[in-house]
Structure 1
Amino acid sequence: MSILIRGGLVVSATGSASADVLVEGERVAALAAPGTPAADSWAALADTVLDATGKYVIPGGVDVHTHMQLPFGGTFASDTFETGTIAAAWGGTTTIVDFAVQSKGASLLAGIESWHAKAAGNCAVDYGFHAILSDVNEAALKEMDAAVAAGVTSFKMFMAYPGVFYSTDGEILLAMQKAKANGAVIMMHAENGIAIDQLVAQALAQGHTDPVYHGLTRPPQLEGEATSRAIALAEVTGAPLYVVHLTASQALDAVAEARDGGQNVFAETCPQYLYLALEDLAKPGFEGAKYVASPPLRPREHAAALWKGLRTNDLAVVSTDHCPFCFKDQKELGRGDFSKIPNGMPGVEHRMDLIYQGVVAGKISRQRWVELCSTTPARMFGLYGRKGVIAPGADADIVVYDPDAQQTISAATHHMNVDYSAYEGMEITGRVETVLSRGALVVRDGAFHGRPGHGRFVPRGLSQYLV
């Protein structure tokens, strides 16, 4: 099966050029300037020709922070690997990296195997795993080596959620020492969970139960403090550090200082922290529960700092932290007690569109858009070469993007398995038109043509920023 994409502007992390793209089977076969003999000959031979005139042709999105089917607070994230990866495809994301959870007292490798069982045969696009390391002990530290050998080359730890995922500074230090030895990346949820739990208890004791108190009891200073502490531990051990879902200017300042000092510290943010704010948590009638995630939405001035961080590369990646819970029956578990609202928001379908609004507004270039959403996440987590680039030999994960289309985000039209949109009614410019996943047309002409089981597990190598 061969596909020719003609007449488009191929946008990469390093520039843009008019080029026709030939796909043979699952891989990109060649690129050529339009009108050249090579490009003209392809048109007669290709099984399918896609006209991309006036459109961008970009590498498929790589979302390295999703939580499909995650158990949390007595319920589960509402997107399965099937529904979540179909929604990802609709939004131009062709690879996700989800988090396999090690339960307290259980094997790290057993947690990874349980996530393989959830995902295998169900995904519409390709996928990989990080491992959540929640029980640091001698056996788990040894298992980190086996996980790396099996293509799970990054480990998430938590300075939040005492009693669930929380690790002490000593445990974090041990895991970082192991990561330094085996080449893995430690990913950190950086919030001071011990202090936060005290603030939560105090708020509830004072009768403050509304969703906005989720944000008020997790102040940005405690994200900044934890980020600084994680950076210090990484400096002591010599390990790289990747800070997930950074939200606060205090945390960003700590990352920027470390990077300026030559330390291998990287960070991501998420669309919700660029477009939503603490005031959304304060919406009346329990509506604010829709916006409960951790870290929480911040006062609006933090978003300006985050956009600056995206421009300066102190923020290297935009992921979603996609962890959806329906408002009805799930978010509502926290009526009368904000601490019982399941933490997480939907977003895997809209990341590419939302970050493209930064291009529309002149905040970032279209090359930076591709870099943040596709190329850097692939490089950061050992996928580059196959993912994150349109080049001969790469997987044919390709998006044809209409930069001028108008659309309105709404739960009535999205494909995520959740009963609300965090961006309901937001009018945006740009739309995914066509999506190829390893050469298969999965989205075309406003219809889904993919299938569960098309997506494959992708074992990851080591970060290309560290080798």
Structure 2
Amino acid sequence: MSTSCFDLVVRNARAATASDVFTTDIGIRDSRIVQLGSGLPEGAREIDARGRVVTPGGIDAHCHLDQPSSSPVKMADDFNSGTISAACGGTTTVIPFAAQQKGHSLRAAVEDYHRRADGVSHIDYAFHLIVSDPTPEVLKVELPELIGKGYTSFKAYMTYDDLKLDDGQILDVLDVAKRHGAIAMLHAENSDCIEWLTQRLESMGRHAPRFHAYSRPMLVEREATHRAIALAELVAVPILIVHVSGREAIEQIRWGRAHGLNIFAETCPQYLFLTAEDLGIDDSYTGAKCVCSPPPRDKANQEFIWNGLRDGLFTVFSSDHAPFNFEGDEGKHPQGKEVSFRHIPNGIPGLETRMPLLYSEGVLKGRISLEKFVELTATGPAKTYGLHPRKGAICIGADADLVIWDEREVTIRNGSLHHAVDYTPYEGMRLGAWPACTLLRGEVLWDGESYVGSRHRGKFIVAGRPSILPDVRAS
């Protein structure tokens, strides 16, 4: 074998997969991993990992970038700033949402989202769909056609007036998922309960950000999760409950699984590292920075989330990055004002900090294994959304998307991050690791100090049938 057979060799890697950790050189050619082994021949380029941990590039399978919002509210991150930020935190693939607007075509939403992303993204991307208006045309023509073209996951909401579906509509879209081989994701919160509580809080003059948590207690997530599971059982189709925040919803998922149902679950950093107190302990508006739905719970609840990460309840760990600035009339101060909690744009930034937070607080503190970290941040999302084994793996034939980890003390400062948001909810947290190098298809994007990639590097990835779905041949 000649010394020119590799474009790049990553040497002395302590490679971590979802099932194993082993020492190896990684030979890369034409953007793919082509050989693993000791003492590989010299490559045209070389990176010496020096025994450091090397994981597959992260897949953030739940994030929002340049998603249209009601004026004047606008997301701070588009596909340019958002994907630079992702790469600097070890993420090499994102799956944001092409959101249908009520009264509009789902196909038009996908076309619009391609215009926003194509030629702009620095890393690879696929799209989820958001179905907010399941008309006969959408159910019978558009959605099946889009699934066939590689948009094999879609989200439905049980809350938010401009997005929510009723139970009959949810059953309709679940039936499409079953018949056409897609995975349905559900935002599970009881909309009527939230509105009832919100009206009563406002009638008592309770408008501060902290009351957002009072309007969305765990029981509204518990009830909607139970109902989502029942609807999935009726159709006999797997579902994934997104951004699970609380132990009561977790209990419902465990119940469903104990009864043989294919219920999958995702959680996010805010439910491990934030609490309801971060929304404020008084009526200060600063808590608007941490308004997201479902909201963070109490400190004791965090251990239930860690338990779910350890024991396999959760198979996906996403940021739910929703990048609204705190200052200015496009973000958390709509029209430049402090508004009642119900009008604060929901969401927090987290694309860049997702993987370092879980590596530092999970792996390095012994809460989860290195293999579990890989499963949650890369392999699990790839399998769930039809990208595996091209993504989320260190194996022959996989894209050479890799992260080399540097275990050193890092303090999170918003000024050091690369998103376009004016704050991070994790300001001042001390971590024990950060990516020293992020590679997308064998090209360095982040060298540990600077972003060195290019805007046109990212490609749209056509998703296949999610591998978590039952084998249609066996049904």
- TM class by shorter chain equals over 0.9
Aligned to 1:124: 122
Aligned to 1:292: 291
SS in 1 for 2:403: strand
Letter in structure 2 aligned against 1:22? G
Aligned to 1:19: 24
Is 1:398 aligned to residue 395 of structure 2?
Answer: no
Aligned to 1:332: 333
Letter in structure 1 aligned against 2:292? A
Aligned to 2:356: 353
**Per-residue displacement from partner, 1:93-137 (whole Å, max 9, x unpaired)?**
000001001110111111111111111110000000010000012
Return the offset for 1:73.
Answer: 4.6
Letter in structure 2 aligned against 1:229? R
Aligned to 1:83: 81
Give me the whole-angstrom Cα distance separating, in 2, the residues matched to 1:335 and 1:215: 17
Aligned to 1:247: 245
RMSD across aligned positions (CA): 1.1
Give me the whole-angstrom Cα distance separating, in 2, the residues matched to 1:20 and 1:259: 40
Aligned to 2:3: none
Aligned to 1:441: 444
SS in 1 for 2:231: helix
Residue number among 199, 202, 225 corresponding to 1:227 in the alignment: 225
Aligned to 1:236: 234
Aligned to 1:4: 9
**Per-residue displacement from partner, 1:131-190 (whole Å, max 9, x unpaired)?**
00000121111211111111100110000112x001000000111111111111110000
Give me the whole-angstrom Cα distance separating, in 1, the residues matched to 2:69 and 2:311: 35
SS in 2 for 1:296: coil
Give me the whole-angstrom Cα distance separating, in 2, the residues matched to 1:173 and 1:462: 20
Return the offset for 1:300.
Answer: 1.7
Aligned to 2:393: 389
Q: Is the 8 A contact 1:259 1:314 kept in 2?
A: no
Once the two structures are overlaid, the 10-residue window that deviates more, 20-29 or 329-338, is 329-338
SS in 2 for 1:136: coil
Would you identify which runs of 4 or more consecutive aligned residues in structure 1 move more than 3 Å? none
State the identity as a percent: 40
Q: Is the 8 A contact 1:179 1:185 kept in 2?
A: yes
Total equivalences in the alignment = 457
Q: Is the 8 A contact 1:159 1:226 kept in 2?
A: yes
Greater strand proportion:
1
Structure 1 residue runs of 5 or longer lacking an equivalent are none
Aligned to 2:422: 419
Give me the whole-angstrom Cα distance separating, in 2, the residues matched to 1:391 and 1:325: 38
Structure 2 residue runs of 5 or longer lacking an equivalent are 1-5
Is 1:200 aligned to residue 198 of structure 2?
Answer: yes
Residue number among 64, 68, 75 corresponding to 2:65 in the alignment: 68
Letter in structure 1 aligned against 2:62? H
Aligned to 1:30: 35
**What TM-score does the superposition give when structure 2 sets the normalisation length?**
0.94
Return the offset for 1:25.
Answer: 2.1
**Per-residue displacement from partner, 1:24-63 (whole Å, max 9, x unpaired)?**
1211111102x4xxx1xx22xx121111013111100001
Return the offset for 1:268.
Answer: 0.3
Aligned to 1:304: 303
Give me the whole-angstrom Cα distance separating, in 1, the residues matched to 2:110 and 2:229: 27
SS in 2 for 1:459: coil
